[in-house]
Structure 1
Amino acid sequence: MAGAPLFTAISTSAKQLHTLLKCIAFSQRAEVQITQSGIRFSVEEARVVQGLTFLDKALFSTYSLNLNDDEHSLRPFSISIVALLETLQIFGIAEASSSSRNPYGGISSSYGNAFSAPALALGGTCRISYQEVGAPLTITIQEGSVTTTCEMNTYEAHEQYEDDGGIPLDRDSLCLKAIMQSTWLHDAITELSGTNPTVLVLSASSRSAPYFALEGEGGPFGDSTVDFLPESKNEPTPTGTRGKKQPLVTETFSVAAPSEGHSRIRQRYKFEMIKRAGRAMALGSKVSIRQDQQGVLSLQFMIDLGDGANSGPRRDEKNAAAPPSPGSVAFVDFRFVPLIGDDDDAETETESDVNSDGHEGTQ
């Protein structure tokens, strides 16, 4: 008779798990790492874009991981994220439509309606268990008296990145940090999509306008640009002042000089890869935009999961001091590798920005 499984977790809402995992389901496989703090899912494409989401143990009503004293996590493995999502919605979890999108991010309370079949199935519980290393990952969904169990094959994980398991982002040498409502970024990317560009150019400076701009290049209908207005509408550019400006829509904004003699950063990314984060942009309430000196871009979205989640502090191995969330929230992080070899990465200006103050994250 089999002994107790290595890992067991029970969630009272399969919808919350489905919402987070759907944000990063742009590839067939997801790598999974189970830790004492929660479950990390990672999906990548061509080693140039990666989506990560962390299911904090606070999202589960029961969370049990049996490890040896010298272990902190189970060996990573990969599964089919497509099969996992199909299992989670087996009782008909409704997709968020454009009409249910909250303008401030997340999903509005009018998610479906009381008379639709999908709305009746949102209360299902989900049990995740992992018997032993190499065993299938077992998902059990229960709705009323109906129970469905699915065993998904697990596979050996690919070679892991260093740092936190993601495309390396050098937090000690960030040249851009900004926090804004996710809806502003989503609307900008949607606007640029109209010209079907191949490249997204991110341009930022704290010394001269435009302070923050996104450009779409290479499309068949021409190039387009979205400029975020400066903090002072009556003074679009600083005149004779050493004070730093920031876009009106940002809560936090700082630009550090990428190199001596330069104060503007200008980096290029493949537009199709940026669009992989579109779902998280639409659902997120806030987004933290970070770029390091090598051009690696991080978009971290804070997603409100609604009233039904188990609220609690965010547990992040890389940010142990993260404060408790006022409600139930989760984070989805996308990393992008820049395009290189085309155009200048920086524009020369007379003064360099050396201020890197500001918070690092959306908490």
Structure 2
Amino acid sequence: MAFLSQSQSDDDPYTFTCSLDNVRNLSNILKAIHFKDHAACFATTNGLKVTVENAKCLQANAFIQAGIFQEFNIQEESVIFRINLTVLLDCLTIFGASAVPATPTALKMCYRGYGHPLTLFLEEGGVVTVCKIHTQEPEETLDFDFCSTNVVNKIILQSEGLKEAFSELDMTSEFLQITMSPAKPYFRLSTFGNAGSAHLDYPKDSDLIEAFHCTETQTNRYKISLLKPSTKALALSCKVSIRTDNRGFLSLQYMVRNEDGQICFVEYYCCPDEEVQDAES
């Protein structure tokens, strides 16, 4: 890290800088939301939030708290820019995406502000690579207006339970139907694919369920094509919080433990399928 610590002189007016001893702690979490090329980056004193959206129906957020970084400095209340996430990940893994933790790649990331590129200094084994990535005008991100006061059902379960469900259910189905209820079936996942209907039920006292707070029976359908990107986050996670609000909007919050044992979060918001609801009503 010697070069990285010297890579910024006192005269450089960076509005945002951060550094990591192990770049995989950032690249792995960003891969979990990489289903579109572009992302919006928001830096505040709390840390870094990276947002990816699709078709105004799906939003994914990766939260990397400031404490994860060895250095995290921000000179303004908030710094916002849009970036090509595919290019950013290519740069972060420029030394290879080896899973061997013996030689971690160190990272220093610097941003001067609006109109300037995002500069990455990557160092591994004394070799330093400098990457400059063009930033773009930030676009307004969707506001799903998903607030905890409107949440009617919430279940926290070990990720293994959901991984098992996705492997057993028929993914040729167009929809995943989720039922959450204070009474039986409590928590049910259903698909309607080429091989017919499939249902997977979890009793509320299941060993996989860590918390069960359901106040009313809700059944909503969500396009599997929208939910599939979230399986990247599921694969990395140890726990997942599944919440629905009074409109049937779905929040999947994944707790991810990085290689240093620190906790990050990835959250997916998904709209219910309106056509199905209209047809049923």
Same fold (TM over 0.5): yes
Q: Which residue of 1 aligns with 2:94?
A: 90
Q: Which residue of 2 aligns with 1:354?
A: none
Q: Which residue of 1 aligns with 2:122?
A: 141
Q: Is the counterpart of residue 281 in structure 1 residue 281 in structure 2?
A: no
Kept after mapping to 2: 8 A contact 1:177/1:254: yes
Q: Which residue of 2 aligns with 1:253?
A: 212
Q: Which residue of 2 aligns with 1:342?
A: 276
| 1:118-164 alpha-carbon deviations (Å, 9 max, x no partner) | x554x1100100012220011111012211111111111112344xx
User: Of 109, 121, 125, which residue of structure 2 is paired with 1:128?
Assistant: 109
Q: Is the counterpart of residue 222 in structure 1 residue 196 in structure 2?
A: yes
Distance 1:38 1:230 in 2: 35
Greater helix share, structure number: 2
Give 1:168 deviation, angstroms. 2.3
Flag structure 2 segments of 5+ consecutive residues without an equivalent: 1-8
Kept after mapping to 2: 8 A contact 1:30/1:80: yes
Q: Which residue of 2 aligns with 1:317?
A: none
Greater strand share, structure number: 2
Q: Is the counterpart of residue 197 in structure 1 residue 201 in structure 2?
A: no
Distance 1:198 1:154 in 2: 36
Q: Which residue of 2 aligns with 1:235?
A: none
Distance 1:36 1:205 in 2: 39
User: 3-state SS of the aligned residue for 2:265?
Assistant: strand
Distance 2:280 2:210 in 1: 24
Flag structure 1 segments of 5+ consecutive residues without an equivalent: 95-110, 113-118, 232-246, 258-263, 308-326, 348-363
Q: Which residue of 2 aligns with 1:19?
A: 28
Distance 1:11 1:179 in 2: 30
Distance 1:341 1:279 in 2: 27
Give 1:345 deviation, angstroms. 9.8
Q: Which residue of 2 aligns with 1:156?
A: 137
Q: 1:344 to 1:255 in 2, by over 3 A?
A: farther
Distance 1:46 1:170 in 2: 21
| 1:150-197 alpha-carbon deviations (Å, 9 max, x no partner) | 1111111112344xxxx32131111111111011112102211x4511
Q: How do residues 263-282 of structure 1 correspond to structure 2 at under 5 angstroms?
A: 264-282=217-235
Percent identity of equivalent pairs: 30
Q: What do you get for the CA RMSD once the two structures are aligned?
A: 2.0
Q: 1:33 to 1:343 in 2, by over 3 A?
A: closer
Q: Is the counterpart of residue 43 in structure 1 residue 52 in structure 2?
A: yes
Distance 1:206 1:345 in 2: 25
Distance 1:279 1:341 in 2: 27
Which one has the largest radius of gyration?
1
Q: Is the counterpart of residue 300 in structure 1 residue 253 in structure 2?
A: yes
Give 1:3 deviation, angstroms. 3.4
Kept after mapping to 1: 8 A contact 2:251/2:268: yes
Aligned length: 272
User: 3-state SS of the aligned residue for 1:285?
Assistant: strand
Give 1:302 deviation, angstroms. 0.6
Q: Is the counterpart of residue 79 in structure 1 residue 53 in structure 2?
A: no
